[in-house]
């Protein structure tokens, strides 16, 4: 991964299939690894940066190594105001608010989530929507996670000029 530091209004779920490196989520800097699953709430600054061997080195067969992931992005209100107002959705709605700190899921729930996340790219239409709701339901019903950012990051408003300055700083520090 070699993306710039960024944020966006969509919620992002990232499942790392292969590779190692460093993730930056809000005020958190920590390593990432295969089978890691993270959710990043809307407008939280983040970036995943591959370790140098994934950017420059080749494996034993002479092929360039690469990190691989499945990334799911969606708007918090993708189901519409009416649906997100029903009582059955309350737990997921609260969970998505908590996800604004970034959350990394633990080993107890990870395999269950991976089964659903791996299926998502192969699905279409209503099947894809139902599978995303299953993933959110599993995530919202587990305590097997840790927060990545401090709550104070939630209250920090970031504008475009801040984003550009932070991207420049990130580029300088990481390179």
Q: What is the mean pLDDT of the chain?
A: 86
pLDDT tens track for 18-77? 999 999 999 999 999 999 999 999 999 999 998 876 655 565 666 667 889 999 999 988
d(CA 21, CA 67): 9
Contact 148, 30 (CB under 8 A): yes
Write down the pTM of the prediction.
Answer: 0.83
More confident residue, 84 or 118: 118
- In the predicted model, what is the mean pLDDT of residues 93-100? 94
């Amino acid at each position: 991964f070699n993306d710039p530091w960024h944020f966006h209004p969509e919620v992002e779920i990232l499942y790392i299939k292969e590779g190692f490196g460093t993730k930056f989520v809000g005020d958190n800097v920590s390593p990432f690894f295969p089978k890691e699953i993270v959710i990043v709430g809307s407008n939280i600054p983040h970036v995943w940066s591959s370790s140098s061997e994934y950017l420059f080195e080749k494996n034993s067969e002479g092929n360039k190594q690469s990190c691989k992931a499945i990334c799911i992005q969606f708007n918090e209100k993708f189901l519409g105001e009416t649906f997100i107002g029903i009582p059955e959705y309350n737990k997921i709605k609260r969970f998505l608010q908590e996800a604004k700190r970034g959350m990394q899921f633990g080993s107890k729930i990870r395999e269950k989530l991976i089964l659903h996340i791996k299926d998502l790219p192969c699905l279409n239409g209503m099947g894809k929507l139902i599978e995303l709701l299953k993933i959110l339901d599993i995530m919202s019903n587990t305590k097997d996670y840790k927060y990545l950012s401090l709550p104070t990051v939630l209250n920090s408003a970031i504008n475009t000029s801040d984003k550009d300055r932070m991207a420049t700083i990130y580029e300088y520090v990481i390179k």
